[in-house]
Chains A and B, each alone.
Chain A
Amino acid sequence: MAGKLRGRTLAGKPPGMLDSAMPDPLDLRGLACPLPVLKANKALRAMAPGETLVLLATDPAAVKDFHAYAQETGHELLAWAEEQGRPGERVFRFALRRRQEA
C-alpha cells in the first residue's frame, strides 16, 4: 500500500517518512525448496547494499534454508515469523538485508 507512494519524493530532496515504507513482500508462497532461496537470492542481488527484502513463503523448510542461506552469503536475516495463513496453510515472513559489500 505505502509502497506505491515511494515515487512521490522528488530526486535531490531529503528522504521522507514514506520512503522508509516497505514495498510489498515478494510472494514465494506455494514454492518448494530450493525455489524460495533461489528466487530470494535473485531479488537480493538486484538490490542495493543495506536494502531489505521481505518475502512470504509456505514451505516449512524455508525457515532452516534461509538461516543457512544467511550464514553462507553474509546477507542478514533480520527477522522471520510464522503468520496466520489460510486454514491448513503455514505462512512464513522473512526480512533479509543485503550485505554491505557487493
Chain B
Amino acid sequence: MTVLLLTHRDGLQHDMGEGHPECPDRLRAVLQALDSEEFADLLRDEPEEATLEQLTRVHPADYVEAILAIRPREGDRIALDGDTIMSAGSARAALLAAGAAVRAVDEVCTGQVLRAFCATRPPGHHAERRRPMGFCFFSNAVVAARHAQAVHGLERVAILDFDVHHGNGTQDCVQNDPSILFASSQQMPLYPGTGEASETGVGNVFNAPLPPGAGGDAFREAWEGLLPAVEAFAPQLVIVSAGFDAHARDPLAQLRLAEPDFAWITQQICALADRCCGGRVVSLLEGGYDLAALASSAAAHVRTLLRS
C-alpha cells in the first residue's frame, strides 16, 4: 500500500513553554519512531501552508486573520486561554498543520497514494469556528473535509476521532452540515465536557463517551457501535483525528488503551474505507502526551495503515 507521511520541521517551532505537554518533543518522538527500517516504504514530503481560501471554508475570515496577526517576538508567548499559547513560530506551524491536511487530501483524492498520515502539530480538533481551544487553532480535519468537497467534488466525507478528548471543535464546525459525518469516542467526564451520546447534530454526529478507567474492550465495543453508522453514510473519503492519549500511560486522561487497540481501530477504519471509498484514508495527528506511548502508538497506527 502506498502511504504518504507529511511533516515539516517548522512544526517544532510552535513552543507553548516549558512543561507544557503539547511540546515539540511529541513530534520528534513520532518521527523518530517512523524513522525505523520497517517504515522505509513510506513516501515522505513536506506540506505547504494552508491558504486563506482553504481555511475560510471552515473559519470566518476575521477569525483566521486575528489568529495570524498574533506573532509574538522570538522568546515571547501570548496565551489565548489557560491551555493554548502562541510563540513566534506558532502561526506558521498551525498553517503547516492545516496545509498538510489539505495536501494529504489532494494526494489521496487524485490517487497518488492510497492513504496519508500527517505528523503535525498543533492539533486541531478542539478549534471551533471562531475560538481557539485546547492546544488547537484551526480545525485541520474539517479544513481537509471541505477541501475534498470543494476541489475534488466529493459529496460525503466522514471524520472519525479516537482522541481521548472530545473533538468539540470538529463537532462545532460540522454539526449543521449533513454532508460531513462526525463519529467520536472520548473519555467522559473529561475536558472539554462535551461528547454525550445525545449530541447528534443534524443526524450526522455520533458520540460514544467512555468512563474513566475504561480499557480496550470498552473502546472496541464503542467503535463497533459507531462504525455501522459510518458505513451506512457511505463516505467517499475517511479522515481520522488520530489522538493517542487514550493510552494507559497518558498523563491527561484515564483510559487504558494499549498499542494493539490503536492498531485495531486503524484496521477497522481501513477495512471500512476499503468497502466504501477505495480505501482512501487521511489521518491527522491530534493528541497523545506520554512521549513513549505516543511514539509506539503512532507507529502501530502507521504500520497498520501500511499493511491493511
Contact = CB atoms under 8 A, between A and B. Distances in A.
B1 to A, nearest CB: 33
Contacts of A8: 82
Contacts of B83: 16-18
Contacts of A79: 213, 215, 248, 254, 256
Interface stretch (A19-27, A28-36, A39-47, A61-69): A19-27
Contacts of A4: 19
A17 to B, nearest CB: 4
Contact of A20 (B81, B191, B213): B191
B248 A2 contact: no
Interface string B245-258: 00010011110100
B260 interface: no
B212 A78 contact: yes
Contacts of A38: none
A13 B165 CA distance: 19
Contacts of B253: 20
Contact of B289 (A2, A15, A16): A2
Interface in B173-230: 190-193, 212-213, 215
Interface residues of A, number: 24
Given A2-B21, A2-B289, A78-B212, A13 B251 contact: no
B254 A78 contact: yes
Nearest to A52: B254
Nearest to B17: A5
Interface in B63-118: 81-83
A85 B191 CA distance: 31
A13 B82 contact: yes
Interface in B5-36: 19-21
Nearest to A9: B82
A5 B19 contact: yes
Given A2-B289, A4-B19, A17-B191, A22 B251 contact: yes
Given A20-B190, A95-B213, A1 B19 contact: yes
B251 A2 contact: yes
Contacts of A48: none
A21 B265 CA distance: 25
Interface in B260-307: 289
A98 interface: no
A15 B21 CA distance: 16
Interface in B35-83: 81-83
Given A17-B83, A17-B192, 12 more contacts: A1-B21, A2-B20, A5-B20, A16-B134, A19-B82, A20-B252, A21-B21, A52-B254, A76-B213, A79-B213, A79-B215, A79-B248
28 contacts: A1-B19, A1-B21, A2-B19, A2-B20, A2-B21, A2-B252, A5-B20, A10-B82, A14-B193, A15-B191, A16-B81, A16-B82, A17-B126, A17-B191, A18-B21, A18-B83, A19-B191, A20-B191, A21-B21, A21-B252, A22-B251, A22-B252, A22-B254, A52-B212, A52-B254, A76-B213, A79-B215, A95-B254
CB-based closest 8 A-B pairs: A78-B213, A16-B82, A16-B83, A9-B82, A17-B134, A17-B191, A17-B83, A2-B21
Interface of A: 1-2, 4-5, 8-10, 13-22, 52, 76, 78-79, 81, 95, 97
